[in-house]
């Protein structure tokens, strides 16, 4: 009897399970996707035009939201959700046009979009060409009656407004570990901006309020405006990487670039070494460069120094300002890596400037924000492990005399000096080295006679150097990562300028002349910003520095190389 009950229960459960599986596998009724909006919607009665524009706006937005922002092959809204919020709130009534005319506010916005280049922006990102075509069509009798055409213009203008606000406020570069500007723009903030524009009617004023409040930003933007007036129409040219990493790709890039200069009949013809040298030599001759027939750094920089490349470098730099805080401290130290330059800014005025040496490309100076808290006369250098094993260890293995010649000593955890000849150097590696290598203080110390400390996780600092002749070199990306300051005494004087009781004139110099070690602290900490800005306005023109770490090139390839003006 029990067996029969169990058997019946089994079949009952099986039937239920099969039924559940059948229900689970049954497809749900599909939701019909919105129909694609009409390409044309001719309205004969002018008084009905706004009503039909509203219908087109609603149907177009339903389609756009369902298709991820895409209306057709040429129209893609970047801020589709915000655009929808605007028109939904207004019952899908037009805001930029009325009764077969574009309103004055739309004219102002359209004109602003046309000048996007002057802000380091790309007009195509704001639908400028399409909007220009739509505005031309709506000047014709038939276009004036096309509700679908007017609705597309409405959507594009609203999307352009929001994207312009976003790019002027936040920029196009990703926020990183040294970004200090707060991203406070919420959906409500953007919608409020739209309402403010509708009420005040001042496009330029509203946009300017979103930009960084830095004099250097304004100067660079002003210089860009002047530069654009003097340049030929911006045309995209082939970029030549240097040095070459792929010989075949490099060779083809050079041929394309020489063709663009009119020095070759075709970028596809085979060129032997002699023909290539002749073409390069002709280019060098036309540019006033030494006619070597060989591609060197100077020639490649000249080939890449086109208006298009300049524009992209300036655009990147303008966006870098959007990563800084809304206001800078009253007093701060600014180190610009590509410029090999350090400045002290006090109450908006540059009170001190110095050449610096920065890290080599393989040992880069890191970007950071900190505060200079103290400095040391006659410092002692503790060699980082990375330098010990990448540079010193091979030389130590050859001869222990290397340590003596470099004024280096090996110390244990108790800071006791060890006899290097007694150590088993061949057994040491990065995971097994229970000592430190230090360089005795003195004039031949790598840190020189002054070292400025600021908290950071990279163990870098500002300092003097025992190789001061390197400041005369044009390319000063030469260090292991720290920043060497040519005018280190002026920096020290500035830090203690308000404490004449403890530090009467020439006190620091007396310590140094007597080779005395002192830790100087107690002065107000001074913020330090180490940044990477390859462009700046200087003496009425724009100075473009060498992209020493290739940072601009990476960003250009990622964000701007597919853009057009």
Residue 297: Cβ within 10 Å count: 11
Whether 463 is catalytic: yes
Cis peptide upstream of residue 243 (ω within 30 degrees of 0): yes
Estimate the crossing angle of helix 104-114 against helix 203-210, to 10 degrees: 50
- Report d(CA 530, CA 484) in Å as an integer: 13
- Report d(CA 160, CA 123) in Å as an integer: 10
Whether 482 is catalytic: yes
Q: Which residues are registered as beta bridge partners of 536? A: 543
- The number of residues making up the chain comes to 565
Report the 3 state secondary structure along 104-158.
Answer: HHHHHHHHHHHCHHHHCCCHHHHCHHHHHHHHHHCCCHHHHCEHHHHHHHHHHHH
Estimate the crossing angle of helix 147-169 against helix 128-137, to 10 degrees: 150
* Residue (of 436, 99, 244) closest to 252 by Cα position: 244
Residue 377: Cβ within 10 Å count: 21
- Report d(CA 228, CA 106) in Å as an integer: 25
Instruction: Name the catalytic one among 97, 165, 463, 480.
Output: 463
Instruction: Name the catalytic one among 97, 165, 482, 535.
Output: 482
Alpha helices (runs of H) in 359-503, residue ranges in sequence order? 385-387, 393-398, 401-405, 488-495
Indicate the helix (H) or strand (E) that contains 277.
helix 273-286
The radius of gyration of the chain from alpha carbons, rounded to an integer in Å, stands at: 33
Q: Residues with catalytic annotation?
A: 463, 482
């Amino acid at each position: 009897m029990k067996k029969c009950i169990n058997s019946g229960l089994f079949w009952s459960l099986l039937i239920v399970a099969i039924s559940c599986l059948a229900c689970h596998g049954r497809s749900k009724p599909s939701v019909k996707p919105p129909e694609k909006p009409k390409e044309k919607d001719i309205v004969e009665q002018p008084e009905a035009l706004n009503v039909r524009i509203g219908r087109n706006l609603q149907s177009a937005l339903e389609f756009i939201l369902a298709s991820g922002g895409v209306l057709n092959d040429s129209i893609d809204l970047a801020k589709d959700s915000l655009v929808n919020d605007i028109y939904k709130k207004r019952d899908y009534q037009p805001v930029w046009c009325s009764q077969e005319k574009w309103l004055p506010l739309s004219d102002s916005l359209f004109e602003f979009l046309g000048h996007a280049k002057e802000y380091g922006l790309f007009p195509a990102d704001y639908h400028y060409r399409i909007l220009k075509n739509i505005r031309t069509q709506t000047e014709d009798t038939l276009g004036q009656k096309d509700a679908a055409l007017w609705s597309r213009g409405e959507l594009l203008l609203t999307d352009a407004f929001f994207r312009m606000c976003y790019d002027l406020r936040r920029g196009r570069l990703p926020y990183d570990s040294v970004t200090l500007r707060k991203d406070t723009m919420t959906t409500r903030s953007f919608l409020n901006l739209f309402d403010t524009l509708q009420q005040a009617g001042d496009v330029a004023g509203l946009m300017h309020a979103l930009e960084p409040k830095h004099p250097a930003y304004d100067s660079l933007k002003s210089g860009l405006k002047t530069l654009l007036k003097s340049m030929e129409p911006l045309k995209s040219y082939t970029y030549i990487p240097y040095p070459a990493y792929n010989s075949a790709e490099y060779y083809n890039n050079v041929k394309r670039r020489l063709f663009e200069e009119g020095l070759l009949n075709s970028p596809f013809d085979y060129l032997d070494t002699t023909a290539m040298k002749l073409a390069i030599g002709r280019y060098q001759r036309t540019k006033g460069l030494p006619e070597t027939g060989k591609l060197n750094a100077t020639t490649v920089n000249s080939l890449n120094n086109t208006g298009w490349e300049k524009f992209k470098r300036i655009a990147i730099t303008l966006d870098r300002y959007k990563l800084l805080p809304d206001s800078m401290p009253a007093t701060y130290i600014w180190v610009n890596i590509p410029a090999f330059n350090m400045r002290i800014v006090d109450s908006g005025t540059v009170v001190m400037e110095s050449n610096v040496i920065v890290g080599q490309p393989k040992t880069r100076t890191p970007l950071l924000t900190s505060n200079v808290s103290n400095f040391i006369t006659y410092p002692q250098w503790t060699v980082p492990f990375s330098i010990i094993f990448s540079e010193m260890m091979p030389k130590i293995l050859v001869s222990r005399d290397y340590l003596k010649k470099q004024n280096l000593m090996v110390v244990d955890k108790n800071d006791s000096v060890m006899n290097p000849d007694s150590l088993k150097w061949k057994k040491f590696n990065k995971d097994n080295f229970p000592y430190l290598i230090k360089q005795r203080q003195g004039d031949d110390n790598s840190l020189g006679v002054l070292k400025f400390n600021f908290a950071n996780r990279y163990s870098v600092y500002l300092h003097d150097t025992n190789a001061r002749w390197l400041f005369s070199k044009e390319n000063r990306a030469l260090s292991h990562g720290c920043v060497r300051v040519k005018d280190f005494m002026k920096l020290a004087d500035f830090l203690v300028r308000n404490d004449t009781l403890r530090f009467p004139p020439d006190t620091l110099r007396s310590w140094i002349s007597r080779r005395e070690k002192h830790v100087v602290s107690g002065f107000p900490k001074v913020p330090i910003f180490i940044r990477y800005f390859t462009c700046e306005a200087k003496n009425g023109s724009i100075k473009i520095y060498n992209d020493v770490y290739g940072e601009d090139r990476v960003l250009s390839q990622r964000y701007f190389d597919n853009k057009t003006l």
